[in-house]
C-alpha cells in the first residue's frame, strides 16, 4: 500500500499539463490589477477564493478569462512565469511543460514580442533550478483560421517552442474541426497534443488519435470505451490527467471515482498533473497526495506514474534517461520479503 509517511514534495516529478494563466495566484492577480489599474469584480483575494467554487468548466473559464485581464505588460508575464517555476521547483517538480495561449491577450494592444519575451526570459532564468518546455495552444471556440494565424505569428520563437495543443470548452468543438491546424503544426516539426475527453465524449479522444496527436490532455472519457483503452495502451499514447481539476469541475463526483488507477492497471501511460493550480487549489504534490490517498495507490503504482511522466514528456531521450534514474533513486522498490526469492 501507499507508505503512510510519504512526502510527495520529495518525489522528483513532472507537471506536463499546466496552463500558465492558471497559475495566477489571487494575491498576484490583485497586485497586477493595481499595477495596471484594472478593475476587478472581487473585493479581495479571499473573495476570489470563494468565487473559485465552480459548477462546471464554463463557470471556471469565465473567472479564468477575467483574471487574464490583469496581465498587460511583458513584466507581468515574466513575473507570472517566474512565480510558477519557483513554486514548482520548491514542490519537487523537476520538469514541467507549460501551455500558454497568446490569443487571449492579442486584442489588448500588448505586443506579442513583449509577451513572449516575458515568458521565455523567465524560463531561461530558471533553467538551473527547473527544466521547462513551452507549448503553444489555441482555443477551440475560435475559428481554425485564427488558430493558423496564431501558429504563424509565433514563428520567430519556434526554436523555443516544444509543441502545440488546443484547449477550451469541448462541447460542440470536436478535435477534427481543427485538422488543418494540427497538420500545419506537424508540418513544422512540432509535437502535438489536444484536450479531449474531459467534458467531451470518448469519441473526441478517438478523433484526436485520428489527427494524429502525440498526447491526450485529460482523456477521462476514454474509460467508457474498452476498445479505445486497448488502442491507447498499445500505442502508449500518454494521458495527462489532472485529478484535483476533475474534482473541482465535477468531472468526477469524488477522487475515489477517478479512472486513473483503472487505466494504470490496464497499462495506459497515465500521468498526474496540476492543470490550473491557482484556481483549483492544488499544485503537483497536492494532486499526487490526493489521488494516492483516494485510490490507495501502491508504491509500485506511484513509481510507475512517476516514470510515465518522464516517458510522456517532450524531452530528448538522453534527458529522459537521466530523469528516470533520478526517479528510481528517489523511490526504490521495496525489498523483496520472500526469503526463497532472495536466495536465503
Q: Rounded distance, CA 206 to CA 339, Å?
A: 47
Residues noted as catalytic: 198
Q: Could you tell me which of 43, 42, 48 has the C-alpha nearest to residue 24?
A: 48
What is the distance between the alpha carbons of residues 75 and 168, in angstroms, rounded to a whole number?
26
Contact 272, 295 (CB under 8 A): no
Residue 107 grid coordinates: 486584442
CA angle at residue 107 from 106 to 112, to 5 degrees? 25
Alpha-carbon distances, residue 18 vs 46, 78, 279 (angstroms) = 23, 16, 12
> What Å distances lie between residue 118 and 154, 203, 298, CA to CA?
14, 38, 41
* Cell numbers 501551455: residue: 99
Strand, coil or helix: 198 = coil
Label residues 125-139 b or e (16+ Cβ within 10 Å = b). Answer: ebeeebbbbbbbbbb
Inter-CA distances, 99 with 94, 139, 203, 330, Å = 17, 12, 24, 28
| Cα separations in angstroms, 287 against 27, 266, 281 | 22, 21, 10
Tell me if 279 sits within 8 A of 244, measured CB to CB. Answer: no
Amino acid at each position: 500500500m501507499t507508505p503512510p509517511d510519504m512526502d510527495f514534495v520529495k518525489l522528483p516529478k513532472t507537471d506536463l499539463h499546466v496552463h500558465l494563466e492558471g497559475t495566477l495566484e489571487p494575491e498576484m492577480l490583485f497586485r497586477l490589477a493595481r499595477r495596471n489599474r484594472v478593475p476587478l469584480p472581487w473585493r479581495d483575494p479571499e473573495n476570489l477564493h470563494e468565487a473559485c467554487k465552480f459548477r462546471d468548466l464554463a463557470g471556471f473559464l469565465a473567472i479564468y478569462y477575467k483574471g487574464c485581464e490583469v496581465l498587460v505588460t511583458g513584466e507581468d508575464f515574466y513575473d507570472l512565469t517566474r512565480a510558477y517555476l519557483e513554486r514548482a521547483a520548491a514542490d519537487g517538480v523537476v520538469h514541467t511543460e507549460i501551455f500558454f495561449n497568446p490569443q487571449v491577450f492579442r486584442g489588448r494592444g500588448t505586443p506579442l514580442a513583449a509577451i513572449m519575451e516575458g515568458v521565455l526570459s523567465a524560463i531561461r532564468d530558471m533553467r538551473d533550478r527547473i527544466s521547462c518546455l513551452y507549448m503553444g495552444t489555441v482555443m477551440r471556440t475560435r475559428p481554425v483560421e485564427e488558430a493558423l494565424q496564431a501558429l504563424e505569428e509565433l514563428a520567430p520563437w519556434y526554436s523555443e517552442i516544444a509543441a502545440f495543443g488546443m484547449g477550451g470548452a469541448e462541447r460542440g468543438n470536436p478535435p477534427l474541426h481543427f485538422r488543418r491546424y494540427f497538420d500545419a503544426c506537424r508540418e513544422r516539426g512540432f509535437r502535438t497534443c489536444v484536450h479531449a475527453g474531459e467534458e467531451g465524449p470518448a469519441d473526441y479522444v478517438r478523433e484526436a488519435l485520428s489527427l494524429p496527436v502525440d498526447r491526450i490532455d485529460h482523456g477521462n472519457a476514454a474509460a467508457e470505451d474498452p476498445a479505445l483503452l486497448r488502442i491507447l495502451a498499445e500505442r502508449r499514447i500518454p494521458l495527462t490527467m489532472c485529478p484535483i481539476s476533475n474534482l473541482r469541475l465535477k468531472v468526477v463526483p469524488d477522487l475515489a471515482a477517478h479512472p486513473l488507477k483503472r487505466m494504470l492497471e490496464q497499462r495506459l501511460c497515465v500521468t498526474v498533473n496540476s492543470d490550473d493550480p491557482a484556481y483549483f487549489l492544488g499544485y503537483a504534490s497536492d494532486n499526487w497526495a490526493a489521488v494516492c490517498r483516494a485510490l490507495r495507490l501502491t508504491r509500485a503504482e506511484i513509481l510507475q506514474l512517476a516514470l510515465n511522466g518522464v516517458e510522456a514528456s517532450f524531452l530528448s531521450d538522453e534527458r529522459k534517461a537521466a530523469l528516470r534514474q533520478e526517479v528510481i533513486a528517489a523511490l526504490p522498490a521495496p525489498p523483496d520479503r520472500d526469503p526463497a526469492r532472495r536466495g536465503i
